[in-house]
Chains A and B, each alone.
Chain A
Amino acid sequence: MRFLGKGTVVFDEKPSIKSFAAVVGKKEGEGPYGKCFDAVEEDAYFGQKTWEKAESENLRRSVQLALEKGSFEEKDIDFSISGDLLNQCISSGYALRGLDIPFFGVYGACSTMAESLVLGSVITGGGAAKNILCSTSSHFCSAEKQFRTPLEYGGQRTPNAQWTVTGSGALVVGEGSAPPYVEAVTCGRIVDLGVTDIGNMGAAMAPAFVDTVKRHLETLGREAQYYDLILSGDLGIIGKSLAKELFAKEGIDIGDKYDDCGAMIFDKETQDTHAGGSGCGCAASILCGHILPEMKKGNLRRVLFAATGALMSPTATFQGESIPSISHAVSLEA
């Protein structure tokens, strides 16, 4: 494991992603990638009584599945790293409460899947653990309740608004010899180009994504073409087009190698999701439900996965603050 500066670490012995699972809600199951996920829950409450418990149950299920699919028992996992959007990360805290695994709670907003995978890879790559469980979740209803208006409130969504994904993803990264591997990681830094509109999160986060990808490519001396796919987390349709223009302005030829989980997960025309999906579960479910399986099958060889997060809160927004954003990148190899 070598530290190359500017937040980038390259692995000599590449951590292996040994198991992964994604569980999503009904709407996500009806989307273009609906068939990729391990499970689709029709009940928005996931059999629970509150939205917060529903989200936590969703996360618990994908964690359980990731352990089962890799034939792991609790004692085989050295650490778990998880986070979510709810205040004090309660979705993660309650989802992992029943497991006898040392726990780190992290907050990276919607970049959490990449953040936990960066940390997990570095810990296992540094020899401090054999297996690390990384996971995150989001739920449309709990996010609306905390960040916007009550569910039954009669309002209209703006054309730039994104739809929080009900979904979760979990994976186990550790010492191993089977692909897909984590080849390098780049930790993001906080970028803020002054966007204040919380109804346009993709626009706020796009510069953070471009910044991290740019630093990643510069530090490793690579062109964007090195990758089969460069994937942002939840910039959505507007953020994606902004990212493309930013890449052009920075002189990075991204070609047709770029896509965004938020732009992928829903069908804009039939699902009425405006600017696309968002939330921790967006990037997590696309990574664990689509990207990692495709890499395992050999259809994708090199993927740069860079989930994106907006580090604001309703309080900061009401105080007139702009939206600081972050993006962590994980270079995956099969």
Chain B
Amino acid sequence: MKEGYFLVTKKEYAKMVQKHSGKSPIVKDTARAFLVGGIICTVGQVLRNFYFSQGFNKELTGTATSITLIFIAATLTALGVFDRIAKYAGAGTLVPITGFSNAVASPAMEFKSEGLVPGSASKIFEVAGPVIVYGTISSVIAGILYMIFVR
């Protein structure tokens, strides 16, 4: 369709769309994310204290805490519960390591219907892939900067 058939131009229509569209409730969303994100961090702290008390050293404690949180989030994803919590919590479940776990587990489940190799395995990083790629690249850059300026 050629421009000008409608009385409304693309610019005017963009304004109309903005006027009619709904906005996300930022205050409510932020409060929920703060609450649930805080709870997850508290659980992390409890786990940390527990592993510490079991005689793990500092490094091992951190690793064990992360692994446990990843396991819990993946299990809740498999049980179909995680997305319901996330619907309420938003960034509260997305930002901690639980979000990463869910982002890997959910496509693996979704594409299982196409088989373990062409489905689950090849699609497993569909959502989390960019985080891995750019996380690795930025850590390399940070490492080079550290080597030049700090050492």
Q: Is the CB of A152 within 8 A of B16?
A: no
Give A159 to B25 CA distance when docked, in angstroms. Answer: 9
B17 touches A242 (CB 8 A): yes
B147 within 8 A of A: no
Query: Would A153 and B22 count as touching, CB distance under 8 A?
Result: no
With a CB–CB cut-off of 8 A, which chain A residues contact B107? 150, 153
The answer to whether B24 touches A159, judged by C-beta atoms less than 8 angstroms apart, is yes
B8 touches A249 (CB 8 A): yes
Contacts of B105 in A (CB 8 A): 152
Provide the A148-177 mask, 1 if CB < 8 A to any CB of B, else 0.
Answer: 011111111111100000000000000000
Distance between Cα atoms of A153 and B99 in the complex (Å) = 9
Point out the residues of chain A lying under 8 angstroms from B151, CB to CB: none
- Given contacts A145-B110, A154-B94, whether A242 and B20 have CB atoms under 8 Å apart is yes
Q: DSSP class of A's interface residues: helix, strand, loop or mixed?
A: loop
Mark B71-85 against chain A: 1 for CB-CB distance below 8 A, else 0: 000000110101101
Name the residue of chain B whose CB is nearest to the CB of A157. Answer: B87
Chain B nearest Cβ from A151, distance in angstroms? 6
Q: Are A211 and B23 in contact (CB under 8 A)?
A: no
Say which residue of B1, B8, B24, B111 sits within 8 Å of A192 (CB atoms): B1
Nearest A residue to B80 via CB reads: A152
The reply to whether the CB of B14 lies closer than 8 angstroms to some CB of chain A is: yes
Q: Given A150-B109, A211-B6, do A191 and B127 touch, yes or no (CB 8 Å)?
A: no
A152 touches B106 (CB 8 A): yes
Residue contact B87 to A153, C-beta cutoff 8 Å: no
Question: How long is the Cα–Cα vector from A52 to B114 in the complex, in angstroms?
Answer: 11
Q: Is B102's beta carbon under 8 Å from chain A?
A: yes
Does B93 have its Cβ within 8 Å of any Cβ on chain A? yes
Chain B nearest Cβ from A67, distance in angstroms: 29
Most buried by A among B20, B29, B105, B111: B20
CA of A151 to CA of B86, assembled, Å: 12
Q: How far is the CA of A98 from the CA of B110 in the complex (A)?
A: 27
Q: Point out the residues of chain B lying under 8 angstroms from A211, CB to CB.
A: 1, 5-6
Q: Is the CB of B1 within 8 A of A190?
A: yes
Within 8 A of B (CB), among A271-287: 274-275
User: Cα distance A150–B6 when bound, in Å?
Assistant: 38
Please, what's the 1-or-0 string for B15-44, where 1 marks a CB less than 8 Å from any CB in chain A? Answer: 011001111100001000000000000000
Nearest to B18 among chain A residues (CB) is A203
Tell me which residues across on chain A come within 8 A of B99, comparing CB atoms.
154
A155–B86 contact, CB under 8 A?
yes
Which chain B positions have C-beta within 8 A of A145? Answer: 110
A149/B6 in contact, CB under 8 A: no
Cα A100 to Cα B73 with chains together (Å): 49
Interface: A195 (CB within 8 A): yes
Chain A, 113-166, CB within 8 A of any chain B CB: 145, 149-160
Cα–Cα distance between A50 and B22 once the two chains are bound (Å): 34
Among B23, B85, B127, point to the contact of A159 (Cβ < 8 A): B23
CB-based nearest A residue for B85: A154
List residues of chain B with CB within 8 A of the CB of A238. Answer: 20-22
For B70, the chain A residues whose CB sits under 8 A away are none
Q: A203-B21, A238-B20 are in contact. Are A156 and B86 (CB under 8 A)?
A: yes
Report the minimum CB–CB distance from A70 to chain B (whole Å).
35
A246 and B8 form a contact (CB under 8 A)? yes
A151 and B110 within 8 A (CB): yes
B102 and A152 contacting across the interface, CB-CB below 8 Å: yes
Q: Which 4 A-B pairs have the closest CB atoms?
A: A154-B86, A159-B22, A150-B110, A150-B106
What are 27 residue pairs bridging A and B, where the CB atoms are less than 8 Å apart in the complex? Answer: A150-B106, A150-B110, A150-B127, A151-B106, A152-B83, A152-B102, A152-B106, A152-B109, A153-B102, A154-B85, A155-B83, A156-B24, A156-B29, A157-B87, A193-B8, A193-B10, A193-B13, A194-B10, A195-B13, A200-B17, A238-B20, A238-B21, A242-B16, A242-B17, A242-B20, A246-B16, A250-B7
* Interface contacts beyond A160-B22, A193-B6: sample of 20 additional A-B pairs, CB < 8 Å, sorted by A: A50-B113, A52-B113, A149-B106, A150-B107, A151-B110, A152-B102, A153-B107, A154-B77, A154-B87, A155-B87, A155-B94, A189-B1, A193-B8, A194-B14, A203-B17, A211-B1, A242-B16, A245-B16, A249-B7, A250-B6
